[in-house]
Amino acid sequence: MVMLFSFTAVHAQVTDTLKGVEIKDEKPKTSNDERINTYSQGQLVYAIDTVTLKQYQFQSMANLLSQQVPVFVKSYGINNVATLNFRGASAAQSQVYWNGIPISNAALGISDVSLLPVSLMNKVNVIYGSSSALWGSGNVGGALLVENDLPDFDTGAFSQSISAVMGSFGNYRAGLKSALSTNRFVASANVFGQTMNNDFRYKDADDKEQTMTNAKMQSGVGLLQAGYKLNDKNTLSFRGWYQQYYREIPPALFESASAKNQRDESLRLLLNWKRNTDKSIYYAKAAYIRDFMWYRDSLISVESKNITDQVYVEAGIKRSTFGAKDNNYLMIFIPVQLSRMDRLSVGDTKTQSKYALAAAYARQFGTRVLLSAQSRAEVVDNNGYILPGINATYLLHSRYKLRVTLRANVQRTYRVPTLNELYYSPVEILT
């Protein structure tokens, strides 16, 4: 049994004089990233609507994707890792991006989607197929892109929402959302916490009824956003995301007992500048990501600590070219990613660097054909790669509410070994 309580309060500044209002009808974008909106038309992009996100606001991204999206989510059981697998590609060949920033663990090369809370996200897009020219190395099977929206710049509004859920087996969850907006400044805070005992009953291999042990889970997540409109064309924004999870791992069917537990902590900071003009979009972003994972099993005296740091910087321009109807688009961007892993058991540090220059061009022919070509030159630890790609879409039929579209995507892709694959060191033995 689950009970939901929700309270929302909105306060807005009131003026005596009514101002003129201009209303424009515009098709909403499924993403804030131009690489999806303009240059991935030949790929299948599955956008999850806001109603579905609201229904799953107290669940993890793993539950949302496994139940609502045609993608395989490989889960290793209660309080264990859950990873994405696209069209036969492994978890290390499927990438996860946060507002265009890769957030997969630099050492493991994967992202645990069970640690991504749906309540923090405003837009969720699943991209099928590879496009290393646009997204970089590792994007072989597909990608998951999660995004956060800033509050709209307004004339002084404050909103607050409090929600709580209680369920069986010691399940308690609560969330708080607050937002403030003015003409020049906006800010929002999103806090989410949960605790679960997961002490339900089950039958073992001998058909005896047992109670699940060592299955408790606790987490706390916070997202802070702020935006400042420098003028009508320039906007500066900041996002800070911190989360910590403590998970006890239950015994497998072949184990009589378990003392395994894992603690995950992540800090993600993102600073973004964006300039919109009539023909161009300029942007620059810088991000810092720190991941900490601590695994312990006192029954067999095993302990493993994994600490990674990533710095990601990207700058680019998208411009409409050639033609009054703006049916030609050119994008050039430069991404740089620096990763570091601290090997605590050995006492040293390993690094990896990626530098790239990428370009994408899209052209629309009439109302039926859209063609996009991309290319990326990337250097990974002094090894260079050239990654061309092309995708296209053709509107075959659009009549009587029936729309039939043909898509094609041809890419040259690759994946480099992760830091853990290159420099693995054994786990520590507890003393």
pLDDT in tens, 400-430: 778 888 999 999 988 888 888 888 776 655 5
Among the listed residues 355, 319, 327, 341, the one whose alpha carbon sits nearest the alpha carbon of residue 419: 341
C-alpha distances out from residue 150 to 50, 120, 238, Å: 15, 12, 10
Alpha-carbon Rg for the chain, nearest whole angstrom, is 23
What fold, for 3-9+33-429?
Maltoporin; Chain A (2.40.170)
- The whole-chain average pLDDT of the chain stands at 87
Q: With bands split at pLDDT 50, 70 and 90, how would you rate the model's confidence at 331? A: very high
C-alpha distances out from residue 226 to 72, 152, 190, 392, Å: 35, 11, 12, 37
Helices (H), 143-285: none
* Cα distance from N-terminal residue to C-terminal residue, the chain: 44
φ/ψ (deg, to 5) at 15: -120, 160
Strand partners, 114: none
Q: With bands split at pLDDT 50, 70 and 90, how would you rate the model's confidence at 5? A: very low
Residue whose token pair is 């009549």: 399
Q: What is the pLDDT of residues 340-395, one digit of tens each?
A: 998 877 778 999 999 999 999 999 888 889 999 999 999 999 899 999 999 999 99
pLDDT at 24: 58
Q: Residue 195 is encoded by which pair of tokens?
A: 């605790």
275 has pLDDT over 90: yes
Ranges of each domain in the chain: 3-9+33-429
